[in-house]
Chain A
Amino acid sequence: MQNILEVKNLTKKFKSKPGDFTAVDNISFNIADGEIFGLLGKNGAGKTTTIQMLLGMMQPTSGTVTYFGKNFNDNREEILKNTNFSSTYISMPWFFTVWEILDVFARLYEVKDRKKRITKLAEEFEIDHLLKKEFYMLSAGEKTRLFMAKAFLNYPKIILLDEPTASLDVDIAMKIREFLKKEKKEYNVSMLLTSHNMNEVEELCDRVMIIKNGKIVDEDKPENLAKKFSKATVELLILEHDEKAKMLFDREKLTFKKNKLRFFIELDEKNISNLLMNLAKEKITYTEILINKPDLEDYFLEVVKTEDQERNKNELE
């Protein structure tokens, strides 16, 4: 697949006291045609700074950004005609109606079938009944839907989405995810997505990159990242022989917690079958079993935990 976006050695340093602060530290990644790429990190990890640099709203200290095989700095206008972005952290002209906002942006992008496009997107994002309403009167969720409609006005080939479903009701967030999947499938739209909703990232993203203190920590498919966090939790309801079960878990050196008759055993995913076999051998019966497999959130939390531990250690030193 052809790369739509190529980022090479992107770095942003700010001069500050007592020393320079590196917000983004030498990151490189590509986004292929029709790929949804997740950019994850805690607040302050460098996600928004990266997006700003990708849109030319912040000059990188070093590194290059290439869209459609063309250098951003030399082809800004042509590139921005085919990209768009949405963020929950921005706003819009306060007293403009929804229609006026979309109309001005459609003109800025020189959308040919302006009225038709606005009407279609307003229907898609269920803001068609709000077209005459002023921006300041919209709820947080309505504003987010308006930002999304704006982001698709110019039939972008790549779209940068900074927390696209934040502050949305569950049903609307689901519809937006469906819309994003449809755009990808039907029009091969590439997307860079940041989100704090790991289920959303797992559902939408083909690939994910985790950044921490401006540096890349990991990059892979969401399912592969989840596998890196190998601990699973097996929940068993044991009505009889619970003392025997406790002894077995101790003998096997397993980490477990007991709550009334329920056991929560933490172990590597690959050892689950051994555990179940041992339980059978010892004739310990369970009436309920629930296996919580590791997911992206577990891996992300593990990475963040490490980050916090490192920071605490540094602070103590």
Chain B
Amino acid sequence: MNWNRIWAMVIRHGINTKHSWDRLTDMFYWPAMDLFIWGLTGIYLASLGTNTSHYLFIILSGLVFWVVIWRAQHEISINILQELWDRNLVNIFSTPLTVWEWMMSFIVFGLIKCVVSVGFSALLAFLFYKYNVFSFGLYLLPFIVSLLMTGWAGGFLVGAFLIRYGGKIQTIAWAGISLVAPFSALYYPVSILPLWAQKIALCIPSTYIFEGIREILFTGKFSMDKLVISFALNIVYLVLSIWFFVFMFKKSIKLGLGRLI
């Protein structure tokens, strides 16, 4: 891997974000809107009963941490789509850039944007609702790393289809990871899902993190088992999704990248 080329692609994604209102609203506007709407809903729910103050923090935690998965997945799929929209794929792959370096550039840029986006959401949550994301203490870092891995796995899976079939299936860039959300139990415990959905939920790494977050909010404790299972699943999915992305990229090369421009 050549880090100069990875950095060149990170700069490419960065300049694109700078010039694109769509990307900026993705980063700041929508997370802010979600926080306002769902935060106020949480306050309302909390006001309905005596023992319901946790609702607000459950919703805010769900929102802030979902941004991590969303950002990580979205950065991969949208940056692939961007090359297709710009008809630039042939240009970048006529340089020495390798598919591994390209993938790494998504991860690096996704990390940078994740820090900014999550930081922004966490700041708003603190300013408006006195919700402190750092109250999770030492768990915060493994939570974020695990959620990032889930997002990357989703991103490479979606990206694999995009690089093979092109922009005609671009809607999966937005729809793809949203499929995971209902099973991840962002705002509610897994136990309220139907039995068949619970089985799916147990196969999703982020479920364990969101369950763990609620455990901390309710009991102040966290079972390490959940974190271990989440990481184990993430490693499996990430390896499989990377393999699948490279496989589909090679399939695409067989047909010619030029057809995607």
B5 A108 Cβ-Cβ under 8 A: yes
If A77-B98, A90-B261, A96-B19 touch, whether A108 touches B92 (CB-CB below 8 Å) is yes
A59 B20 Cβ-Cβ under 8 A: no
Task: For residue B7, give the distance in angstroms from its CB to the closest CB of chain A.
Answer: 7
Q: In the complex, A93→B89 CA distance in Å? A: 10
Encoded as 1 (CB less than 8 Å from any A CB) or 0, chain B from 91 to 115 comes to 1111111100000000000000000
Q: A104: which B residues are within 8 A, CB to CB? A: 8-9, 11-12, 15
Q: A92's contact among B88, B96, B97, B256, by CB below 8 Å, is which?
A: B88
Query: Does A300 touch B at the CB level, under 8 Å?
Result: no
Q: In the complex, A52→B59 CA distance in Å? A: 51
Q: B256: which A residues are within 8 A, CB to CB? A: 49, 52, 57-58
Task: For residue A16, give the distance in angstroms from its CB to the closest CB of chain B.
Answer: 11
A108 B9 Cβ-Cβ under 8 A: yes
A93 B257 Cβ-Cβ under 8 A: no
Residue of B nearest to A134 (CB): B19
Q: A134: which B residues are within 8 A, CB to CB? A: 19
If A59-B253, A91-B87 touch, whether A81 touches B96 (CB-CB below 8 Å) is yes
If A58-B257, A59-B253, A105-B95 touch, whether A93 touches B12 (CB-CB below 8 Å) is yes
Q: A108: which B residues are within 8 A, CB to CB? A: 5, 8-9, 92, 95-97
Query: Does A84 touch B at the CB level, under 8 Å?
Result: yes
Q: B12: which A residues are within 8 A, CB to CB? A: 93, 104
A57 B258 Cβ-Cβ under 8 A: yes
Q: In the complex, A100→B256 CA distance in Å? A: 27
B5 A93 Cβ-Cβ under 8 A: no
Encoded as 1 (CB less than 8 Å from any A CB) or 0, chain B from 225 to 261 comes to 0000000000000000000000000100111111001
Residue of B nearest to A93 (CB): B86
Q: A109: which B residues are within 8 A, CB to CB? A: 95-96
B86 A92 Cβ-Cβ under 8 A: yes
Residue of B nearest to A105 (CB): B95
Q: B91's contact among A77, A90, A103, A107, by CB below 8 Å, is which?
A: A90
If A93-B12, A108-B92, A110-B4 touch, whether A57 touches B87 (CB-CB below 8 Å) is no
A80 B253 Cβ-Cβ under 8 A: no
A residues bordering B, Cβ < 8 Å? Answer: 14, 48-49, 52, 55-59, 76-78, 80-81, 83-85, 87, 89-96, 100, 103-105, 107-110, 134, 150
The 5 closest A-B pairs by CB, nearest first: A107-B8, A58-B256, A91-B87, A95-B19, A108-B95
- Interchain residue pairs with CB less than 8 A apart (26): A14-B255, A52-B257, A55-B90, A57-B93, A58-B253, A58-B254, A59-B250, A85-B94, A90-B90, A90-B91, A90-B261, A92-B88, A93-B82, A93-B86, A93-B88, A95-B16, A96-B15, A96-B19, A104-B8, A104-B15, A107-B5, A107-B7, A107-B8, A108-B96, A109-B96, A110-B5
